[in-house]
Amino acid sequence: MIKKGEWVRIHKIILTPEERAPQVPDDTRAVPLELWVKGFLQADAEIGDQVEIETVTGRMETGKLIEVNPYYTHDFGKFIPELLQIDKQTREILFGGGK
Amino acid sequence: MERANDYASVMGRKAEIMLKSVGIDYSKFESGSIAFDYEKMMRETGYTLEEMQNIQYSVNVGNTPILELKNITALARACAPAGKGARIFIKDEAANPSGSFKARRAANAVYHAKKLGYKGVIAATSGNYGAAVASQAAIAGLKCIVVQECYDSKGVGQPEIIEKARKCEALGAEVVQLSVGPELFYKFLLLLEETGYFNASLYTPFGIAGVETLGYEISMQFREKYGKDPDVVVCTNAGGGNLTGTARGLAKAGSHPTIIGASVSLAGLHMASDEAFNKKSFTTGHTGFGVPFSSWPDRSDVPRSAARPLRYMDRYVTIAQGSVFYMTETLASLEGLEKGPAGNTALAAAFALAQELDQDKTIIVQETEYTGAGKHVQPQLSFARDNGIEILFGDPKDEIPGKNIILPSHPSLLKTTEVDLDKMRKSLIRTAMKTYQVEEPTEEDIRFLAEETKSTEEFVRAQIKANKAEVQK
């Protein structure tokens, strides 16, 4: 059970494929236009329930409850060894060698 | 009365929503034909340079330092013909409160919104502008909503955009994230209607005029430190506001350097495509914005965009994604400066362009942007590799956006590609005639189009004739 007042993230479909703009390319038209937004849960609920939230600007939005206390997981990615070669080469051109 | 909120109905209310949310009656500047009075629009709805400086300095925006990149200059000279290799400088706009030059645009937009009594501001952007508006709204005590295109249909987001969402939230904004599609504008209009907030568009006169201080500062700082104006200014070009504002500011200082626009080449990738979305390794500063917005500025979220880069550009070049990543890494490795990749688009171009110029010339890149998790050469390349993009060393001219990223196997291979400005000028004239359904442009239209395209009335007349012949065929 997720309590009223908890900070949550919701998901909703705002345009179904049929409702999308006429100018979108075919691959985009095959899928709906989706929305994600965060806010304070307005009534006790479970993950997957249709809920109402109040966002930080005081707007009310409804959608499917997908996360409680949502957090970011983006990072510096996996190591790219090529970057070391760039460093090595440019430093050699500039400072290395018999100049 | 319940309003219909389907796509067509909301788009049908666009003009009415825009008028309420921007507070500008654009019809005042219209001629009724192709021409409109651009300078009058900038004068009557913008701010004077002094007013803008006062607004920006009062919220800690602007007065960013100019840094000379001596080691990168030396590297360029090592690749250049004898005697060539201009001194390369950057204006460290990452030093602004929100970490980019966009703070200048946002400071003015938010100031204006507050002056007009709006309770909040909304911006539709996946770029640094979101954080800039959030930062300025935080200072002004206004509410802020940022609408982002963020995920593909599998829910996978560009790390660079996710980082910007984090930053907007950290600065107190509500972030509305959407999946891929131009209907972002539809949700943006609905939010404006629902909240009554100010449309902090990137393309209003106040936003663009806000960048004029950047151009003006470049000239003033250069004169003070080096006793002269820079010879060449390179601007990363996407929506056109950066270049437009900078060029106008330079002109207000009485400085007329060669202005070169630079965009990352994403040739072949469709911007509204769900599948192509995560095959891009840059989310801004690229040709997907730069080319259409320069060829036809009035495709923005306001009736008449104040960003009109073709009026100011002397040259427009593209650069490969791998070359920008290479230069971003080199900026860290040789100059001790870690900055965001997208902001280094112009730097990568400047590295090649400097090699065309004599060593006593100066070339300045007019921005840097902040870097961090997601928005950095490492995660952006890692994300590309995870999406099946091949990353290899080679000649950047063989790079195919969406298939590979080619890191130059030697810095001497880093080159720009010239965009045919005449082709863009012709395209603008053709689109103008078509959009306004004008077969016989007036004398005023011809003068206007010559200004719009930084060409001559003869060029415009010749193009109009060619267009008419085309229609009759």
Q: pLDDT tens digits, residue range A9-57?
A: 999 999 999 999 999 999 999 999 999 999 999 999 999 999 999 999 9
Q: Which residues of A touch B396 (CB under 8 A)?
A: none
Interface contacts (A, B; CB < 8 Å) = 153
Low-confidence ranges of chain B (pLDDT < 70): 1, 473
Query: Given this model, what pLDDT does residue B1 score?
Result: 57
Q: Contact A77/B380, CB-based, under 8 Å?
A: yes
- For B460, the 3-state DSSP assignment is helix
pLDDT, one tens digit per residue, over B310-346 is 999 999 999 999 999 999 999 999 999 999 999 999 9
Q: Are B73 and B85 in contact (CB under 8 A)?
A: yes
Residue B371: closest CA among chain A residues belongs to which residue?
A76
B270 to chain A, closest Cα gap in Å: 8
Judge whether B373 is closer than 8 Å to chain A, CB to CB. Answer: yes
Residue B435, token pair as written in the block: 């959009």
Searching chain B, which residue's CA lies closest to the CA of residue A36? B177
CA distance B421 to B295: 9
Distances (CA, A) of B383 to B311, B351, B378, B389, B398: 37, 26, 9, 9, 21
SS (H, E, C) B45-86: HCCCHHHHHHHHHHCCCCCCCEEECHHHHHHHHHHCCCCECC
The per-residue pLDDT of chain A, averaged, comes to 95
pLDDT at A97: 64
What is d(CA B68, CA B89) in angstroms, rounded to the nearest whole number?
4
The DSSP bridge partners found for residue B236 are B262
Cα gap B11→B127, rounded to integer Å: 24
pLDDT at residue B297, as a whole number: 96
In our burial notation (b when 16+ CB lie closer than 10 A, e otherwise), range B168-207 reads bbebebbbbbbbbbbbbbbbbbbbbbebebbbbbbbbbbb
- In DSSP terms, B390 is beta-bridged to B404
Question: Do residues B145 and B191 lie in contact, with contact meaning Cβ atoms separated by under 8 Å?
Answer: yes
Nearest CB neighbour to B176, from listed A24, A35, A90: A35
Would the pLDDT of A98 be above 60? no
CB contact under 8 A, A15 and B379: no
Across the interface, do B78 and A87 touch by the CB < 8 Å criterion? Answer: no
Check: CB of residue B342 under 8 Å from CB of residue B282.
yes
> Would you state the pLDDT for residue B63?
96
**H helix runs in B172-308, sequence order:** 184-195, 205-226, 241-252, 287-295
Strand B362-365, strand B232-236: pairing: parallel
CA distance B193 to B10: 10
Residue A94 with chain B: CB contacts under 8 Å: 71, 74-75, 78, 334
Cβ contacts of A7 on chain B, cutoff 8 Å: none
- As beta bridge partners, residue B148 has B177
Task: Tell if the CB–CB gap between A76 and B378 is shorter than 8 Å.
Answer: yes
